[in-house]
């Protein structure tokens, strides 16, 4: 997510800087406003892979990006994270999980890199600079001659015609655009939440939190409700994972539908983000 944030921050900073220079402002504003989360996710993923190769790290991750432009929320999803849009206590939009098969979500990995090619890339960085560049700094690998480059990439996995290609945002991401209104609640969470709590249980929690705020105290609700909702949902999901007496969970239900015997919740990390849509207060983003 570091590089996803960096991509969006670059767009915001470029827009703010362009306001001081009338020439070219229209083009910059158009680029900012027409921002596509699929393209942003693609660029961020490519930067992350480059950084991972430099540091000798292998791994993969699901990802969900949501970008607000005017009254339109643009969403790109790779995997089993989910976004809720809640208006006046009703669920009006739910993004779909994307999976190859049960418990096998789409995810962003290392492209065609293998352990051997990543280790060689890491060694090259050490050889050229005596240290491994920090992963947060997106610099290309040090220049290499053609023979060294070929030597590194000969260890990359080259898919055959029968192989399933790796997942990419540009080809595989789910993409949605939904209209929003002030005071809509946007809830984004990892599969650790949705594997352990049913949608109705999540909505009951949202309703319960909002019920503690007086309708006249809008400022307090905007300030505290999103945090309270996130924290409570995390605790509830964790309680399902840890309680051996739980008789049913979404993950158990899906497993049973696949013909597998499974009882209870699913142990996993849980990430929940919540925010309320508000009127724009500044002339440019920060």
pLDDT band at 154 (very low <50, low <70, confident <90, very high): very low
pLDDT at 204 over 60: yes
DSSP 119-156: HHHHHHHHHHHSSPPPTTS--PPPP--HHHHHHHHTTS
In this structure, what token pair is assigned to residue 189? 């969470």
Least confident of 26-30, 54-58, 123-127: 123-127
pLDDT band at 163 (very low <50, low <70, confident <90, very high): low
pLDDT digit string, tens, across residues 251-272:
999 999 999 999 999 999 999 9
What is each CA distance from 113 to 22, 37, 58, in whole angstroms? 45, 25, 9
Backbone φ and ψ for 78, nearest 5 degrees, come out as -125, 100
Interaxial angle between packed helices 218-242 and 199-211, expressed in degrees from 0 to 180 and rounded to the nearest 10: 140
d(CA 79, CA 92): 21
Q: Which of 63, 269, 68 is nearest to 186 (CA)?
A: 68
Q: Within a 10 A sphere around the Cβ of 168, how many other Cβ atoms?
A: 18
Predicted local distance difference test score (pLDDT) of residue 144: 42
For the chain, state the CA radius of gyration.
22
- Average pLDDT of the chain is 84
- The answer to whether 40 touches 65, Cβ cutoff 8 Å, is yes
Backbone φ and ψ for 4, nearest 5 degrees, come out as -65, -45
Quick check: helix, strand or coil at residue 226? helix
């Amino acid at each position: 997510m570091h590089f996803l944030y960096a991509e969006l921050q670059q767009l915001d900073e470029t827009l703010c800087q362009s306001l001081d220079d009338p020439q070219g402002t229209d083009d910059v504003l158009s680029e900012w406003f027409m921002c596509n989360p699929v393209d942003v996710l693609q660029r961020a993923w490519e930067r992350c892979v480059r950084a991972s190769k430099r540091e000798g790290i292998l791994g993969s991750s699901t990802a969900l990006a949501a970008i607000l432009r005017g009254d339109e929320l643009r969403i790109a999803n790779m995997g089993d994270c989910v976004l809720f849009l809640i208006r006046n206590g009703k669920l009006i939009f739910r993004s779909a999980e994307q999976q190859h098969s049960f418990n096998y979500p789409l995810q962003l990995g290392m492209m065609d890199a293998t352990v051997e090619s990543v280790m060689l890339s890491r060694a090259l960085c050490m050889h050229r600079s005596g240290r491994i560049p920090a992963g947060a700094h997106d610099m290309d690998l040090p220049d290499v001659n053609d023979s060294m480059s070929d030597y590194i990439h000969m260890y990359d996995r080259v898919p055959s015609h029968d192989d399933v290609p790796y997942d990419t945002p540009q080809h595989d991401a789910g993409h949605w655009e939904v209209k929003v209104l002030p005071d809509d609640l946007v809830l984004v969470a990892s599969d650790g939440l949705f594997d352990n709590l049913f949608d109705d249980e999540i909505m009951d929690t949202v309703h319960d939190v909002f019920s503690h705020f007086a309708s006249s105290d809008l400022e307090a609700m905007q300030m505290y409700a999103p945090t309270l909702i996130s924290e409570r949902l995390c605790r509830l999901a964790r309680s399902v994972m840890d309680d051996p007496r739980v008789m049913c969970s979404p993950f158990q239900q899906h497993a049973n539908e696949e013909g597998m015997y499974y009882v209870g919740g699913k142990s996993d990390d849980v990430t929940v983000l919540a925010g309320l849509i508000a009127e724009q207060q500044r002339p440019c983003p920060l």
